[in-house]
Structure 1
Amino acid sequence: MKIPLSNPSAFSETPVTIITSIVYLALIIPLLIVHHVVPEAPGQIAGTNVDLAEAWLDLQTLTNGFHPYNSRRNDVVRDWLLQRIDALRGDNPVVVFSDMVSNVSFSEAGRGGGPGVSVYFEGTNIIIYIRGSEDDPEQWYLKGKRPQGKGAVLVNAHYDSVPVGFGATDDGVGVVTILQLIKYFSSSGRQPKRGIVALLNNGEEDWLNGAWAFTKHPMSRFPHTFLNLEGAGAGGRATLFRSTDTEVTRSYQNSKYPFGNVVSADAFKRGIIRSGTDYSVFTEVMGMRGLDVAFMEPRARYHTTQDDTRHTSRASLHHMLSAALSTMQGLTSDMSSTFDGGNAEKGKVPSGKGTDGVWFDLFGSAFAVFRLNTLFAMSVTLLVVGPSTLIVTATILYKVDKLYLFSSSKHHHHAEGDDSVAIQGWRGISRWPIIMVFATAAVIGLAFITTTVNPHIISSSPYSVWSMMISAWMVVAWIGSIAADFVRPTAFHRTYAMLWTFIVCWLALVVATVLERNPKIAGTYLIMFYFACIFLATSVSFFELFGLPRKSVYADEIEAPKANPIARSRPGSISSARLMAPTEEEQTTRQNPDNGGDDEEDPTESTSLLGGGRRTTFKRYSSPHRPGPTDEIMPESKTNRLIYGSEQAWSNSLPSSLWLLEFLLLAPFPLILFGQAALLFTTATYQTLADGNDPLLIYLLMAVLTLVILAPLAPFLHRYTYHIPMFLLLVFAGTTIYNLTAFPFSESNRLKLYFLQKVDLDSGINNVSLTGVPFVRGAISSLPSAAGQKPLCFPSTLRRDLTDCSWNGLPPRVVPNTHLDVPPEFGYVDWLTLNATRDPHGKTEAHFHISGQNTRACKLVFHRPIVDFSVEGAADEGRDQRFQKASEYGSKELRLWSRTWERGWDVTVRWDASGDDESNGLDGRVVCLWSDANDSGAIPALEEAMRFAPSWVAIVNNQNGLVEGSKAFLV
């Protein structure tokens, strides 16, 4: 099909198909590249002494083994970090605190408002203070005064890992980034204006314990702002996924490769993302303002043995390090009062109050930041200006008699009476909703089918799912558009489609504006910009109608031939292009050419197949150059404006290329914004089904995003050639078959199964369990120790929507010199020492003495909640008004963490017996944890699972410990 050389941008099939396809591809391909390809790392960040090669070597040393808090290697890593800090520190004033004193007692609320969990933790954090050039040495804590005025900036990362993860990106990259920041800001000539508190905390993986311990150190009162470096994936780009306010976010704006979207922050606020980071402690407990930057893909490697330097890259290290450096430069150089709000009260840092913000990157190169109040004002303005503009434009069109929209006919007055001339302006008004309903129903149906047949396919093939949904929507929408255009052709398909989109988006913006006000959802910026684009495109479509003749003039020229047949051939007559049945005179002329009419032309490729009708070219345009029996010569001034197919005759007056401006206003910017949001959503969720997330919700959100991304094409699809839709039909068929039949996991996209071994130290009963989606049964069947056994499988009580399967596994050897070939009372019983006594005066109070061999983590699990506890001899055990030791509904679990090995805890607990007889005691179990998997043979069941499980399985820890040994108590 050839593009007319005179106008390659005409609203015809070939230009529309080529131009719209090129625009979509030209935007989608860069979006995918930016999202998945990390910028290449240089050897050194320009203008700095930051050494990426040195940082990479440090990362390899740090990740040369598992190092959870409850492991011997954790102490080795800590000693190494102190040595590296001493080697990297420069000439500027630096103070290093090896905090072996801070203890903290706190509680976490339980799910659903029930009893929670209490914690006693002894910290082993490393804190580095780099004095700022503007810091007043008389105001900081060493002089015994509470810090006031200009506060420092905290940068934080945790140096512990999970028990079966090497911690390269969670959080090794964050740790070595801080080491390089210490090197940079302590070097000569680079002293920051505001002081820097660099925190390397220990125990984040065990419910953020390290950050809680920092709250008890005097230096915790010095910072006002913070930058938290984390890892919720295992590579890729470091993403800004949370921020407290607009002002602090601006410090990230100067990053060379900014990457992030406020939508992720909204997901945290609404509880859609349930992961926790130290950010929560810094903001909710300490009252600071700051940023959360973390890796977020691929989730399947997160907390597994593939979180190592082999599966990350120097490019990822550079991305986080460069962003952290520029952010810290911005925060430390800001000496305004933006982050200073007066004296601290009730232990909280006086960080001032920020404004809620909106932020997002564009192609990983630019970063937009503005206030939520600005977004609200823009939304309200558009809600008023948008409809008002269209109403005013329509009113003017009506006044000048050019409102062909919503017009069915126009009266023509002449000497013989009044006639009604068909305008057919209503034609096409209902097709957009019908097409949208069918196309959207197709992708929603695919979401339900995929969820039912093969829900986990998205874990390994998210883009196959996207291809299936996009191709299905396009094919259905194209077929609907072409069918409607064939049955009832109209020149207003484009205008009515945009008008319907305008109405739907206006209603969505109403809801979004309400959400912006309360509960302060910032991700609605997507809807605001989408509406702004559709408003501009629809306005242009309305302005396009000014190019039409007045309806009265059109009616006069259509009806003039009836009163004066000679006028039919007069130059300038619009009737030459009308779409009307032939008059009696014309019919007689056609049947008898000798009776004053022209001879019938020989049939050509332009001749109507039905005969006697208006001839069209193979482009479906009426030809003004070769008149037929019913097609008169068009006015010479309009010979370059053709009528498409059988559309209304007046459409020849419409501009032929204005559609391109409408498309460029409507499609590109929403595609960029929603395309980025869709990719972020995909990365954040596609491998979370193994954690128990609902697959239907993910597929339905993909269906909705498919509609939003492709909806800008709807006004133009009726001009598409069949080539792309037919290709997409093949794509749909292939991807649908694959998505419904393929195995959903692979070596590079493994299924996480959660490991836990429980040993009853009284009876010697040993159970190993794997928790996960139903594929867990197949994984267990491959283990030698499970041969001949039928695992007991029940819904998991710890992980929602997952299955817990257990069997009698290989006995552990986590305590040295354990004799496993003797009865349990001689083999296991001395792993844990327990002495439990009740208050002799009958109070609801009990005392426990607990100690475990080769561990520094134990816990008390109660059948009834406790309301208070104390740990005897613990330093800094005084009551902190910020923290409650038990939640409002009490605690059914008390976790005890020691900084020394094999120490004993003397714990006193109290419970509430109101409504019960005080003779009712307290029962439960004392549990000690073993988390060190570095020594071969210590946990044979774990090693067996890692060795013999299918290659598509990743074994991860289910709880803080890999092995739990317990004894029962009753007091």
Structure 2
Amino acid sequence: MTITSRIRPILGYRTLPTTTLLVLIYIIALTSIFVSDQLASIPHQGSKKLKWLNLDLARRDLEHIAARPHPYNSHANDAVRDYIYSRLKDMADGRDYVHIDDDLKSNTSWASPTFSVYFEGTNLLVKIDGTGDSDEAVLFSAHYDSVSTAPGATDDGMGVTTLLQLIEYFASNRTEKTAIFNINNGEEDYLNGAHAFWQHPWSNLTATFINLEGAAAGGRPMLFRSTSLQPIQGYYTAPRTARVRSPHGNVLSSDAFARGVIRSGTDFSVYAGSDRHGPNFENAPVKMEGLDIAFYKGRSRYHTKWDSPSFTNGGELSLWAMIEVARGVGSGLLSQKPRTKESPSRAGVYFDLFKSVMVSFRLKSLLTFNVVALVVGPIVLALLYVLAAVIGAGDTPPPVPPKRPAQQSGHGASASNRPPARTFGSSDGEDDASFWSKLGTRRVLIRIWQHSSFWVALVLTTVVQGLLVWGYVALNPFIIYTHPYLVLLSAFTLAYLTVVLTLKLAFPSSPIKHATISREKEKTTILLHVHFLAWVALLFATILIAKARVGGVYVITAWYIGVWGASVVGILQRFTSGNEPSAKGKRRAPRRSGSGSSSDSDDDRRHGQHHGDERTPLLASSTAASNGHAGKKDGDEGGAIGWWIVQVLLSVPLFLALLGQIALMLLDSMNQTLTDGSSAATVYVATAFLAVFLVLPIAPYSPKLHQGLTYLAIAVFAITTTYLWVVFPFTHDDPFKVFFQQRVKLNPDTVFLHSNTNTTTSLSAPKVTTLLTASPTFLHSVIPYLPSSRGKDLNCTQDLIRSGLLTCEWDSGARLVPSPGGKDPWGWWPGSSSSSTWLKADVTRTSWASAKITIQGRNTRNCRLYFDSPEQSGVKVVRYTVEGGSRGMQPGYPVDQEHGAPEVRLWSRTWDRTFVVDVDWEPTKLGRGDPGEEEDGTLSGKIACEWAEYESGMVDNGSLRGEEKAKIPAFEEVLTFLPEWAAVTKAADGLVEAWVPFSV
């Protein structure tokens, strides 16, 4: 027995070695992805990585900040601000290079296409002077306000706690560049604190920023977005002791934000200027280069009561992960050389490898590489294929002639064995032509089937995956909410079955008689078809890069290069393998015989057949049998041992690792967006797409996979899919999310000072309604849990803000009427007021197309002006100014002059503030009346104020007692009676909105 024959069972292209290698690759790659996704441990006490950091103090800071909900419009917000301010003063004490600005002066007016804002900032800023003469500072930002329905441990208590630790760290370990910290207020009410920062003088010093955010409930913080490649260099330039040990990020999340797939907003867009609009905004330079680092796992608890220190995913490990990333990247940015004015902003591609290293390169480099690969790759393959065909044609033996009965020599020949007599008109040529015609047709059909089998498998897989997606959407659309990995496993096993079984049918383990593709070439044949698919995908990816600057398609490039390399190896193998080897690895020349039976027998042996005669033994010799079995039944490569291993290593591991990490990230970030209104079909289609591409790497080798894997895949698919279709989709840990608001429609007679507001609606008492918004699939199951809804008429309509969600409204009842709380601020106001008085307002027309609107709410610092649409009122608001505020609009955020301002949101840093707003409008042809007549210039809409405090979530506001406390009993009812598998969050800035119509 030769050495080759000994190692062939281990390294030959056989079922067991092929199955073993592929299974090991998948197990190792996927296990590594899951293991590396776990939170890193905290360094031991005394470690250099903890120098100038105090995690015990950080934990206490987080407990103070996230003790209760503290939205901007709450007294708890003031308490949190006071605590942070006291901590900052302690750290700055005795350090003249640490400067604190208690910013109570920065006011700003800005507008988006859908609303306008006047905001009075209460940011806390810190500046740590650098040791060098660089005029570029690095901004660190996080917001200390929370939503009204959550304590805000991850959103954004951990971010603020991290900044407090970094202030102490950089104050003790000064860097050459200046570090500026913006602990801002009002982010949850749409990024107001970041807008206020641009009104501060220190904003002129910053060139780079790091924004810390929480869009979920903990876990590993991820690099959400980057303006360009430049700030990502902070991962590499940090000192060794401060370098990030486990970086995590992917350019796909940045692509999703840029395309509007992710609808959440962070301060990143304000600092980078990516949400600007108006004339020529696209040509404006980027305000700052920077990074967005955020939590993204566990979105079901996001903005609910479960976003608290005790229920954070990872707990203290998550806090340390955020501190480590911010310190490492911040240290790197503070140590970078200043960027010249001429330095262009280069778009980049970035991703982490097993959370051990952050890989980044220019998007333009990826585009160039793709273009070269698209041109050179197919040309090289075509040249090699033609060359292999030419060389192979010279070594091809002559075709096998048709078989004839063997003639026996001697006198003992039987008459039956003699050739039949020739009859008139008979011809051997006709028999030969018939044989070759049948053989040629069979060969052509086999060739067509084998070369089309991959595409048949792909089409079949697509159809079956579509049916699976339909099944999930129809039977249990929210199951991916709690079991995303099982859904992926279900789709993966189904894709495995359709791909592998189809290709096994085309390339069975028992060779097909007259097959034109030898066993060792079958994988290369499939690889060439996979290569074409990868080439088409690469072409599409290149177009996306060139047209839309999408960087997440780097995985397609990696896939194509791996498949191309494996295809090259397969073609090169033909140069060394020659013709089909015999069982002993040697080519046999056809024996000469008068009858040609030897040649025919050799052909039959290649296909596992033998035609016996009277001299054939009843039992074949063991040597022949064993050689025939070892040589051909399992289809080994003969002397070409190891080629298939190189092909597997080129085409499978890298693509599997990159795609596996993307799949994990997408599942963790997408699966719980369904309760926010995302389409279930979109999420399941994306999951099916990932599953198919996770299977594609094994397609070329699928004919050699053990049938035991097929049985296992059938069992796993049947069990997981059945379970997922019947199990209830929500749990206490992953609750169904509903959005709450209560609205109070006021009597105009109790609100307006003057009667010239043209209001016609008059109510004897305020009309109070409760609104719940959620997915219609389960909203009707949740509402009956609330006692106030029973026996009431529900008015359900599609939500205008959150597409895909349903809003149901009903009368709250006398027991659940809210109270604004606070003391009476209207001693100067004519007329009477009581504890049930929500707001006072006055509307005065100052000219033909302008008016002055005065509004004051009780125990609030947030009011709104809603204007009827131009189609309804005939006018559009084009300008507004607030008395005491800054003049003009923030650059890059003007009022839309074409459609006007639909609403103006007013925010004050003081309680019970009286807002005086001057508005100007213009008539529009879209309005009512005859377009040829002059419009009457009537402005109409609603005046409203917001409240966000409720008894179980507020602090004692000084001497407030009894009726002076704010109360929202309808929200308390929701907190008390919701089922354990549901959680409530806010529907708008105010949990209660009191409003009154106006017209002037």
Q: Same fold (TM over 0.5)?
A: yes
2:10 aligned counterpart, secondary structure: coil
Aligned to 1:706: 691
1:798 Cα offset (Å): 2.1
CA deviation vs aligned residue, 1:868-901 (integer Å, no higher than 9, x gap): 4444432433555443145542111010000000
Closer/same/farther in 2, CA of residues 864 and 652 from structure 1, 3 Å limit = closer
1:200 aligned counterpart, secondary structure: strand
CA deviation vs aligned residue, 1:179-205 (integer Å, no higher than 9, x gap): 111101111xx2111101100010000
Closer/same/farther in 2, CA of residues 652 and 721 from structure 1, 3 Å limit = closer
Question: Which residue identity does 2:544 align to in structure 1?
Answer: L
Aligned to 2:740: 755
2:845 to 819, 838, 847: 838
Aligned to 2:239: none
Closer/same/farther in 2, CA of residues 817 and 95 from structure 1, 3 Å limit = closer
> Matched residue pairs, number?
880
Aligned to 2:355: 364
1:922 to 939, 963, 978: 939
Question: Which residue identity does 2:734 align to in structure 1?
Answer: N
What is the CA–CA distance in structure 2 between the aligned matches of 1:954 and 1:556, rounded to whole Å? 74
Closer/same/farther in 2, CA of residues 9 and 157 from structure 1, 3 Å limit = same
Question: Which residue identity does 1:811 align to in structure 2?
Answer: V
What is the CA–CA distance in structure 1 between the aligned matches of 2:147 and 2:587, rounded to whole Å? 83
1:578 to 606, 615, 621: 606
Aligned to 1:812: 818
Aligned to 1:527: 556
1:104 aligned counterpart, secondary structure: strand
Question: Which residue identity does 1:289 align to in structure 2?
Answer: E
Q: Is 1:282–2:271 an aligned residue pair?
A: yes
What is the CA–CA distance in structure 2 between the aligned matches of 1:385 and 1:896, rounded to whole Å? 60
Aligned partners of 2:738 and 2:772 also within 8 Å: yes
2:565 aligned counterpart, secondary structure: helix
1:673 to 658, 679, 695: 658
1:95 aligned counterpart, secondary structure: strand
Q: Is 1:153–2:138 an aligned residue pair?
A: yes
What is the CA–CA distance in structure 1 between the aligned matches of 2:805 and 2:100, rounded to whole Å? 45
What is the CA–CA distance in structure 2 between the aligned matches of 1:498 and 1:912, rounded to whole Å? 66
2:533 aligned counterpart, secondary structure: helix
1:97 to 98, 101, 110: 101
1:726 Cα offset (Å): 1.1
Aligned partners of 2:371 and 2:542 also within 8 Å: yes
Listed as ranges, the gaps of 5+ residues in structure 1 are 110-115, 137-149, 343-351, 607-613, 625-641, 819-823
1:463 Cα offset (Å): 1.4
Q: Is 1:691–2:676 an aligned residue pair?
A: yes
CA deviation vs aligned residue, 1:95-124 (integer Å, no higher than 9, x gap): 111110011011111xxxxxx211100000
Question: Which residue identity does 1:847 align to in structure 2?
Answer: K
CA deviation vs aligned residue, 1:269-313 (integer Å, no higher than 9, x gap): 111111110000011166100000000011101111111111221
Aligned to 1:537: 566
1:752 Cα offset (Å): 0.8
Aligned to 1:503: 532
Alignment of 1:150-549 (within 5 A): 150-187=135-172, 190-253=173-236, 254-284=243-273, 287-312=287-312, 313-336=315-338, 338=339, 340-341=340-341, 352-401=343-392, 426=447, 428-486=450-508, 489=512, 490=517, 491=519, 492-549=521-578
Aligned partners of 1:259 and 1:360 also within 8 Å: yes
2:53 aligned counterpart, secondary structure: coil
1:801 aligned counterpart, secondary structure: coil
1:80 aligned counterpart, secondary structure: helix
Q: Is 1:909–2:919 an aligned residue pair?
A: yes
1:883 aligned counterpart, secondary structure: coil
Aligned partners of 2:819 and 2:836 also within 8 Å: no
Aligned partners of 2:248 and 2:351 also within 8 Å: yes
Closer/same/farther in 2, CA of residues 409 and 130 from structure 1, 3 Å limit = farther
Listed as ranges, the gaps of 5+ residues in structure 2 are 237-242, 277-285, 403-427, 748-762, 825-830, 871-875, 926-932, 955-964
Alignment of 1:628-643 (within 5 A): 642-643=631-632
Alignment of 1:722-801 (within 5 A): 722-762=707-747, 763=763, 764-774=766-776, 775-801=778-804
What is the CA–CA distance in structure 2 between the aligned matches of 1:436 and 1:100, rounded to whole Å? 63
Question: Which residue identity does 1:528 align to in structure 2?
Answer: T
Aligned to 1:635: none
1:513 Cα offset (Å): 1.3
Closer/same/farther in 2, CA of residues 882 and 736 from structure 1, 3 Å limit = closer
Question: Which residue identity does 1:834 align to in structure 2?
Answer: A
Q: Which moved more, 1:494-503 or 1:244-253?
A: 244-253
Closer/same/farther in 2, CA of residues 714 and 408 from structure 1, 3 Å limit = farther
Aligned to 1:144: none
Aligned to 1:610: none
Q: How high is the sequence identity, in percent, across the aligned residues?
A: 32
1:826 Cα offset (Å): 7.0
Aligned to 1:125: 123
Question: Which residue identity does 1:17 align to in structure 2?
Answer: T
Aligned partners of 1:194 and 1:333 also within 8 Å: yes
2:919 aligned counterpart, secondary structure: strand
What is the CA–CA distance in structure 1 between the aligned matches of 2:394 and 2:801, rounded to whole Å? 65
Aligned partners of 2:212 and 2:294 also within 8 Å: yes
CA deviation vs aligned residue, 1:330-353 (integer Å, no higher than 9, x gap): 1111124x2x427xxxxxxxxx53
1:411 Cα offset (Å): 8.6
Closer/same/farther in 2, CA of residues 830 and 44 from structure 1, 3 Å limit = farther
TM-score in terms of structure 2 length: 0.83
CA deviation vs aligned residue, 1:810-845 (integer Å, no higher than 9, x gap): 111232489xxxxx9976762100111112x4x111
Aligned to 1:883: 893
What is the CA–CA distance in structure 2 between the aligned matches of 1:794 and 1:215, rounded to whole Å? 40
CA deviation vs aligned residue, 1:375-413 (integer Å, no higher than 9, x gap): 112112211221122112112212322599xx9985999
C-alpha root-mean-square deviation of aligned residues, in Å? 3.1
Aligned partners of 1:103 and 1:877 also within 8 Å: no
1:129 Cα offset (Å): 0.7
Closer/same/farther in 2, CA of residues 469 and 908 from structure 1, 3 Å limit = same
1:467 aligned counterpart, secondary structure: helix
Q: Is 1:900–2:910 an aligned residue pair?
A: yes
Question: Which residue identity does 2:868 align to in structure 1?
Answer: H
What is the CA–CA distance in structure 2 between the aligned matches of 1:552 and 1:526, rounded to whole Å? 38
What is the CA–CA distance in structure 2 between the aligned matches of 1:402 and 1:740, rounded to whole Å? 56
TM-score in terms of structure 1 length: 0.86
2:949 to 903, 908, 932: 932
